[in-house]
Amino acid sequence: MNEQEKNTLKVYYSIGEVADMFQVNTSLIRFWEKEFDIIKPHKNKKGNRQFTKTDIDNFHLIYHLVKEKGMTLKGAQMQLSENKNAAEKNFEIVKRLQVIREELIQIKSQLS
């Protein structure tokens, strides 16, 4: 079983795993958790954060708005509070286009 298949079977992710997914510091994950109310990790008896797949998807959306589109935190918060569905749809379209781009690059390299 490869790493991606293992991740799809997991129910909870640690803060370190989430930080590694996005290649950011754990402090940024904690900060975004405080700033965005759509991220609600479970906490175990020790107080460790346990993020669900939904939390990861929300992090992807926030990461896209803040890091890739260059929005401010306030702008991203407003976008998510006013029209989260449109932001999610836009993000899904961007993800699909990136996959298509990668496939086209692969085809181009095979033709060369």
Three-state DSSP state, 48: coil
Question: Beta-carbon neighbour count of residue 33 at 10 Å?
Answer: 20
Each residue's pLDDT tens digit, 45-79: 998 899 999 899 899 899 988 998 899 999 988 88
- Domain of 19: which CATH number? 1.10.1660.10
> In 1-111, at which residue ranges do the beta strands (DSSP E only) sit?
42-43, 49-50
Each residue's pLDDT tens digit, 3-57: 555 555 678 899 999 999 999 999 999 999 999 988 889 888 998 899 999 899 8
User: In which domain, by residue range, is 61 found?
Assistant: 3-111
Overall domain count for the chain: 1
Are β-strands 49-50 and 42-43 bridged in parallel, bridged antiparallel, or unpaired?
Answer: antiparallel
